[in-house]
Amino acid sequence: MPVIEELIRTEEDGTISFGNYELGAKSKLQDFEHHGDLYKVKTFYEITKLERNGMFVYESVPGTAVEHFMVSDDGVEFLVEGNKDAQLTVQLAEDTEYEVFVEGEAAGSVRTNMSGKLSASVELNEGTPVSVKINRK
């Protein structure tokens, strides 16, 4: 899975892809329209962050490349790649229990905090995308 050279794009299946962990300097793109929403992405080797309509959606430390990012009422799923293990934070429903799956394997159950943020660690190797699926229990 290559990094996203254009920083954010719409895929043929209607999902979005974003992020470039190879950049040495922080880059951002804002006002990217997708399904009536405006997205803003900031990305480089230290962090990747995505906002929708000015609200937090996704963050990784260090930076990552994310493909086929799809949010539903029941959770979120995507492919993520990076050159180092990453801490991922996603925005979901507040104070709700979710099951985290990495590469199809259950990685544990996590409850979001009062602001709806859920954090998970993912082991990454450059050139190998990892599937992440987070479902409401």
Tell me the pLDDT of the chain (137 aa) as tens digits.
568 889 999 999 999 999 999 999 999 999 999 999 999 999 999 999 999 999 999 999 999 999 999 999 999 999 999 999 999 999 999 999 999 999 999 999 999 989 999 999 999 999 999 999 999 99
SS (H, E, C) the chain: CCCCCCCEEECCCCCEEECCCCCCCCEEEEEEEECCEEEEEEEECCEEEEEECCEEEEEEECCCEEEEEEEECCEEEEEEECCCCEEEEEECCCCCEEEEEECCEEEEEEECCCCCEEEEEECCECCECEEEEEEEC
Locate 22 and state its tokens: 């190879």
Please, which residues bridge with residue 76 across strands? 71, 134
pLDDT of residue 21: 96
pLDDT of residue 2: 65
Which SS3 state, helix, strand or coil, does residue 109 take?
Answer: strand
Q: With beta carbons less than 8 A apart as the criterion, state whether 36 and 51 touch.
A: no
Domains of the chain from N-terminus onward: 8-136 (2.60.220)
Give the integer Cα–Cα distance in Å for 113 and 110. 9
